[in-house]
Chain A
Amino acid sequence: MPDGAYNYAYLDEQTKRMIRRAILKAVAVPGYQVPFGGREMPLPYGWGTGGIQVTAAIIGRDDTLKVIDQGADDTTNAVSIRRFFARVADVATTTRTEEATVIQTRHRVPETPLKEGQILVFQVPIPEPLRMLEPRETETRTLHALSEYGVMQVSLYESIARHGRIAKTYNYPVLVNGRYMMSPSPIPKFDNPKLDRNPALQLYGAGREKRIYAVPPYTPVKSLDFDDHPFEIERWTECCALCGSRESFLDEMIVDDEGKRLYVCSDTDYCQERQGAQAQGKEAP
């Protein structure tokens, strides 16, 4: 049962309408940051206030919600947000990517490929990809309006000049639909290729800066690069210590005082699915 003290999904109906309008506009102009009237949410800025407002505006009783934080379903943030929506929106929750209709995420895109009809909601700390290069908001808006993105290329040039390669590993800038420069939120660049022509709808919510932007299904998303320094994703020499995957994004863990390292999948659901399948394979020869 939903908590009777609050309106369905916590936010009042007018606020949800306003957010839905912003979402519609964001979907209509892929990659464009739409301002919206961000509300105070019962969690601090930086913990996912943008994502939680987007989720609240789109969620319904028939939905199944999955929440991940750095790929994991069992971290404090993920558990709290999942419990929050189970209580105020009366929705079913899951940790399985395939079963979810709405997935709110921080810092990762699930390894399991998404399908049509699924919605991926990103929590975004800094929506403006040009912020670190151009501090003036009026100027960044002009740069977006005129699609003058040379300065972003300058930052990549600088990275190669300094490190011999493009050293940026997360929040790697992308060009959406050949038009708008977009910050993919702090996902590792490993996940950037998954944004490109993804069948699921991607919504990005920034609570502190009060911006919503979106990538509609099957929209081209290109990671910036140079002809002679093409975009590359991270690679590991090791495989996951738990499921043996060589395709997933691995977290490095130091497990003892001697500096012994262990690599495991950051996507807990993906890892557990694989482990389950392997266990079944053993039992039924």
Chain B
Amino acid sequence: MSAPLLSARGVTKRFGERIACRDVSFELWPGEVLGIVGESGSGKTTLLNCLAGRLTPDGGTVTYESAAAGTVDVHGLSEARRRLLARTEWGFVNQDAREGLRMGVSAGANIGERLMAIGARHYGTIRQTSCDWLARVEIDLDRLDDRPTTYSGGMRQRLQIARNLVSEPRLVFMDEPTGGLDVSVQARLLDLLRGLVDRFHLSAVLVTHDLGVARLLTHRLMVMQGGKVVEDGLTDQVLDDPQHAYTQMLVASILPV
């Protein structure tokens, strides 16, 4: 391990008077999954958007170790280069699959879009790759030409993951990937994600309010409250021995089954 894949230094984002996230710093190493947990409104998603270059922070820097271009300042890049990065080396999985998918075109086209955006022009190859990825995310191949509007919530989420991973990104940002799914579907999706992260040696930043998801998927955890990181450490350590009062409250409020 030479350098962290992604590092944030003092990232701050304000919306008018309101501070959505304040002075967040961390480093993400290759192959690592970082969880960001906290209640609604604690600034998790804002932070994720700042990291992924979708929002411009008011203070601080985000640097990324690019395979193609070396160390880059995410917000110092031109828009063209940032968008190129976002569709080649990065993935972004939205909470609402409808935001991350093109609902008007078939699943195959959804998966193939990134390939075509970076210059693939052979229909047969694109279609074969789409098939491979559909199989990887455990969707029946006869649904390849169906639109995502005909898919269930869990299938849409899996399709969204396939669409992002097709360009073999190194870093994936996930915003509540299991939100709004029922428990058994969640379990399958988590299994799948764990397998894919392992197999493709992905690094990921995962935002969730579900500590169970964090426990299963992440290596390290940051706990946010009111826009600030109040605690961070190894996932098991944070969840089993929470130090900060807020973390203790979060852990204690998990419903016992």
B105 cross-chain contacts in A, Cβ below 8 A: 154-155, 157-158
- How distant is the Cα of A154 from the Cα of B108 in the complex, in angstroms? 9
- Whether A150 pairs with B106 at a CB distance below 8 angstroms is no
- Whether B116 pairs with A157 at a CB distance below 8 angstroms is yes
B67 cross-chain contacts in A, Cβ below 8 A: none
A153 cross-chain contacts in B, Cβ below 8 A: 116-117, 121
Of the candidates A142, A157, A158, A160, the one having the most CB atoms from chain B within 10 angstroms of its own CB is A157
- The digit string for B95-116, where 1 denotes a CB below 8 A from any CB of A, is 0000000100110110011101
- Whether A161 pairs with B80 at a CB distance below 8 angstroms is no
A160 cross-chain contacts in B, Cβ below 8 A: 123
- Whether B109 pairs with A161 at a CB distance below 8 angstroms is yes
- How distant is the Cα of A161 from the Cα of B124 in the complex, in angstroms? 10
Summarize B's interface: helix, strand, loop or mixed: helix
B117 cross-chain contacts in A, Cβ below 8 A: 148, 150-151, 153
Band of interface residues on A: 10 to 19
Summarize A's interface: helix, strand, loop or mixed: helix
Check: B126 CB closer than 8 A to any chain A CB: yes
Check: B79 CB closer than 8 A to any chain A CB: yes
- The digit string for B101-143, where 1 denotes a CB below 8 A from any CB of A, is 0100110110011101110011110110000000000000000
Check: B83 CB closer than 8 A to any chain A CB: yes
Band of interface residues on B: 20 to 34
B108 CB contact (under 8 Å) in A157, A228, A229: A157
Check: B145 CB closer than 8 A to any chain A CB: yes
- Whether A226 pairs with B121 at a CB distance below 8 angstroms is yes
Check: A162 CB closer than 8 A to any chain B CB: yes
- Whether B109 pairs with A228 at a CB distance below 8 angstroms is no
A155 cross-chain contacts in B, Cβ below 8 A: 105
Check: A146 CB closer than 8 A to any chain B CB: yes
- Whether A154 pairs with B83 at a CB distance below 8 angstroms is no
Check: A227 CB closer than 8 A to any chain B CB: yes
- Whether B83 pairs with A148 at a CB distance below 8 angstroms is yes
B123 CB contact (under 8 Å) in A146, A148, A151, A229: A229
- Whether A150 pairs with B108 at a CB distance below 8 angstroms is no
State how many angstroms separate the Cβ of B184 from the closest Cβ of chain A: 31
- Whether B123 pairs with A158 at a CB distance below 8 angstroms is no
- Whether A146 pairs with B83 at a CB distance below 8 angstroms is yes
- How distant is the Cα of A146 from the Cα of B85 in the complex, in angstroms? 13
A225 cross-chain contacts in B, Cβ below 8 A: 121
- Whether B124 pairs with A228 at a CB distance below 8 angstroms is yes
With A161-B108, A162-B145 given, name 10 new contacts (CB 8 A). Answer: A142-B79, A151-B117, A154-B102, A154-B112, A154-B113, A158-B109, A161-B109, A226-B122, A228-B123, A229-B123
- Can you sample 21 A-B contacts with CB below 8 Å? A146-B79, A150-B117, A151-B113, A153-B116, A153-B121, A154-B105, A154-B113, A157-B105, A157-B108, A157-B112, A157-B126, A158-B109, A160-B123, A161-B106, A161-B108, A162-B106, A162-B145, A226-B123, A227-B121, A227-B122, A228-B122
